[in-house]
C-alpha cells in the first residue's frame, strides 16, 4: 500500500517556514497522521475533506534546465509546482516569469492555505518532529545532534526553538479563526470547528444574599 496523500509536503514545510534549502526533507515523517489530527481536533474533518477534494492536479513534470516553457506550463521545482506566466527559459525561482501553481481549484481555499493553513500545518509537523530530528537511538543510547555529527548535548536550545514554533502556531490559529469567521459568507469554510471559547463561570449567590 502506498503512503497517504497529504495536503502538506516536506518541501512545503521548508518553504512555509523558511528553513534552509539543505534541510533533510526525508526526515520530515508522519505528515499524514499529524495533519489529520490537527483537523480532527482543532480545524474540522469536513473542511479537511473539502480541501482534499479540491486539490489541483498537475502533470508531474520535473523542471529541466535550459528548456523553454510556453506560458501556462506547470513544472515541479524542488518539490513545488510552478506555473509559467509567460514564455521563459529561466528557473522557477524567477518571479518575473513564474508563480507558484494554485494548490486548490477553489480560490477561497487557496487563499486560506496561503495565508494561514499551510504555515500552521508546517509548524505542527516541525514541532512534532524536532525532538526526533535532534536526537536518535544508537546502540541503545540516545545521542544528540551537534554540528555535523551526534554527541551528548544541551536540550535548552531545542526547547527554545520548539516553544517558538508553538507560539507561532497558536498565533496563526487565532488569526485564522478570526479570518474564517469574517470571510465565510459563501460557505466555503463550512465544517470549520472554530476555537472553543471558555465558558464563563456563573457564581452562585449564597441563599442569604438572595433575600
**What percent of the chain has a predicted confidence (pLDDT) above 70?**
81
Can you give the C-alpha Rg of the chain in angstroms? 22
Structure confidence at residue 198 (pLDDT): 52
Average pLDDT of the residues in 57-67 = 90
CA-wise closest residue to 9 among 113, 158, 115: 113
Average pLDDT of the residues in 28-43 = 92
User: Phi and psi dihedrals of 190, rounded to 5?
Assistant: -55, 140
pTM: 0.80
Instruction: Choose between 78 and 24: higher pLDDT.
Output: 78
Structure confidence at residue 140 (pLDDT): 46
Structure confidence at residue 208 (pLDDT): 45
- DSSP 8-state secondary structure symbol assigned to residue 27: G
The band of 21, judged by pLDDT with boundaries at 50, 70 and 90, is: confident
Structure confidence at residue 1 (pLDDT): 36
Average pLDDT of the residues in 92-106 = 94
Structure confidence at residue 4 (pLDDT): 72
- Write down the residue that cell numbers 480541501 correspond to: 51
| Collapsed DSSP state (helix, strand, coil) of residue 25 | helix
The rounded mean pLDDT for the chain is: 84
CB neighbourhood size of 72 (10 A): 10
Instruction: Choose between 156 and 63: higher pLDDT.
Output: 63
- Sorted by where each starts, the structural domains of the chain and their CATH numbers stand as 1-55+106-193 (no CATH), 57-101 (2.10.10.20)
For 147-191, the pLDDT digits (tens) are 555 454 456 777 888 899 999 999 999 999 999 999 999 999 999
Amino acid at each position: 500500500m502506498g503512503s497517504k496523500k497529504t495536503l502538506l509536503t516536506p518541501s512545503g514545510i521548508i518553504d512555509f517556514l523558511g528553513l534552509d534549502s539543505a534541510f533533510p526533507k526525508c526526515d520530515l515523517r508522519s505528515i499524514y497522521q499529524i495533519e489529520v489530527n490537527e483537523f480532527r481536533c482543532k480545524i474540522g474533518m469536513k473542511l479537511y475533506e473539502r480541501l482534499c477534494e479540491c486539490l489541483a492536479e498537475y502533470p508531474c513534470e520535473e523542471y529541466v534546465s535550459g528548456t523553454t516553457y510556453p506560458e501556462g506550463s506547470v513544472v515541479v521545482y524542488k518539490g513545488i509546482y510552478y506555473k509559467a506566466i509567460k514564455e521563459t527559459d529561466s528557473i522557477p525561482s524567477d518571479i518575473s516569469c513564474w508563480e507558484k501553481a494554485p494548490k486548490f481549484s477553489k480560490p477561497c481555499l487557496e487563499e486560506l492555505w496561503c495565508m494561514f493553513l499551510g504555515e500552521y500545518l508546517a509548524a505542527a509537523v516541525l514541532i512534532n518532529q524536532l525532538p526526533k530530528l535532534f536526537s536518535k537511538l544508537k546502540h541503545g543510547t540516545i545521542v544528540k545532534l551537534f554540528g555535523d555529527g551526534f554527541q551528548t548535548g544541551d536540550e535548552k536550545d531545542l526547547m527554545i526553538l520548539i516553544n517558538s514554533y508553538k507560539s507561532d502556531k497558536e498565533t496563526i490559529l487565532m488569526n485564522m479563526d478570526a479570518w474564517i469567521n469574517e470571510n465565510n459568507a459563501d460557505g466555503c469554510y463550512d465544517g470549520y470547528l472554530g476555537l472553543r471559547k471558555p465558558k464563563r463561570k456563573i457564581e452562585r449567590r449564597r441563599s442569604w444574599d438572595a433575600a
